[in-house]
């Protein structure tokens, strides 16, 4: 019988290259809810204005950048959007060109060794980013180093992204005699507000606050939602990546059924949604 333990897995940038094009639809708008939560913390403590210099760290498809610029700050602040996956950088650059984001610089960069000088930024934001770096302590210390004194940090992580429960239940059902647990890339020390606050305090930040933020993954229907979640899992679980196609199909059928049950009709009558739980943590240097 498999013990359903999970552990942190180091994801190479190629995994995110493969995910880049499907990433935004896959999270179904939850990533936007989360960034808005981060920005509302900033608004309370240290609002972003025209003079701000912002780092969108592990930017993915420039989600933080997009939300800041859609606030209509005039003139817009300077934003440096960086990520270590070429696929994500390509998507971010497309948005930059399409929307004429003249104050945005998009750069390919590992968040564990930023090439920016010390004390460059007024705001350093990493939504669903730094918590999944192989060395998140190094990631946080780089954010600290590159923030101006008094500067503001905002990060987010997952408390419960929901699909792991279904993934482990399907594993138990399909492989009741498995000797090895299913390996999923969960960052255990970022899954409750107390741990998140401790992570930022240990990195040197003050005035730290964390809160759980419900957000909705909205999809056209449960089948689409299930196939997206299953696709994510196939990319990021070393256990699933090692299976042959037949084994995967057997597992995916069971998994999809369980995930479909998680979706409920959206309140506005458009499609379906499932509530995920993120944690937003912020502080000052």
Ligand X SMILES: C[S@@+](CC[C@H](N)C(=O)[O-])C[C@H]1O[C@@H](n2cnc3c(N)ncnc32)[C@H](O)[C@@H]1O
Nearest approach, Cβ of 84 to ligand X (angstroms)? Answer: 4
Binding interface with ligand X (CB under 6 A): 13, 16, 31, 35, 58-60, 63-64, 83-85, 88, 110-112, 127-129, 132-133
Nearest approach, Cβ of 85 to ligand X (angstroms)? Answer: 3
Q: Which helix (H) or strand (E) holds 45?
A: helix 30-45
Nearer to ligand X, 87 or 283 (CB): 87
Identify whether the C-beta of residue 55 lies closer than 8 Å to the C-beta of residue 146: yes
State the Cα–Cα distance between residues 175 and 4, nearest whole angstrom.
Answer: 12
Chain residue whose CB lies nearest ligand X: 60
Nearest approach, Cβ of 121 to ligand X (angstroms)? Answer: 16
DSSP structure string for 131-196: GGSTTHHHHHHHHHHHEEEEEEEEEEEEEE-SHHHHHHHHHHHH-TT-SSPPP-B--GGGSSHHHH
Nearer to ligand X, 130 or 230 (CB): 130
State the Cα–Cα distance between residues 76 and 105, nearest whole angstrom.
Answer: 13
Identify whether the C-beta of residue 205 lies closer than 8 Å to the C-beta of residue 153: yes
Nearest approach, Cβ of 24 to ligand X (angstroms)? Answer: 8
Quote the distance between the C-alpha of residue 113 and its chain's center: 19
Nearer to ligand X, 20 or 230 (CB): 20
Nearer to ligand X, 144 or 251 (CB): 144
Nearest approach, Cβ of 235 to ligand X (angstroms)? Answer: 12
Nearer to ligand X, 160 or 172 (CB): 160
């Amino acid at each position: 019988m498999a013990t359903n333990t999970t552990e942190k897995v180091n994801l190479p940038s190629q995994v995110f290259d493969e995910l880049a094009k499907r990433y935004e639809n896959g999270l179904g708008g939850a990533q936007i809810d989360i960034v808005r939560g981060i920005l509302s913390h900033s608004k309370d403590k240290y609002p972003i204005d025209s003079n701000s210099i912002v780092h969108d760290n592990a930017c993915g498809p420039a989600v933080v950048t997009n939300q800041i610029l859609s606030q209509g700050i005039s003139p817009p602040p300077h934003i440096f959007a960086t990520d270590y996956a070429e696929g994500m950088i390509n998507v971010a650059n497309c948005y930059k060109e399409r929307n004429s984001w003249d104050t945005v610089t998009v750069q390919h960069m590992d968040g564990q060794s930023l090439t920016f000088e010390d004390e460059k930024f007024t705001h350093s934001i990493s939504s669903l980013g730094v918590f999944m770096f192989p060395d998140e302590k190094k990631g946080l210390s780089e954010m600290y180093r590159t923030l101006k004194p008094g500067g503001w940090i905002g990060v987010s992580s997952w408390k419960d992204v929901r699909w792991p429960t279904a993934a482990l239940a399907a594993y138990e059902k399909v492989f009741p005699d498995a000797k090895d647990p299913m390996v999923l890339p969960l960052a255990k020390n970022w899954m409750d507000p107390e741990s998140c606050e401790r992570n930022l305090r240990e990195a040197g930040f003050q005035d730290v606050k964390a809160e759980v933020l419900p957000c909705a993954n909205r999809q056209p229907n449960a089948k689409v939602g299930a196939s997206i979640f299953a696709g994510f899992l196939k990319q990021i679980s070393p256990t699933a990546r090692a299976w042959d196609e037949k084994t995967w199909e057997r597992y995916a059928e069971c998994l999809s059924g369980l995930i479909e049950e998680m979706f409920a009709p959206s309140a506005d009558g458009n499609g379906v949604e499932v509530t995920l739980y993120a944690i937003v943590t912020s502080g000052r240097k």
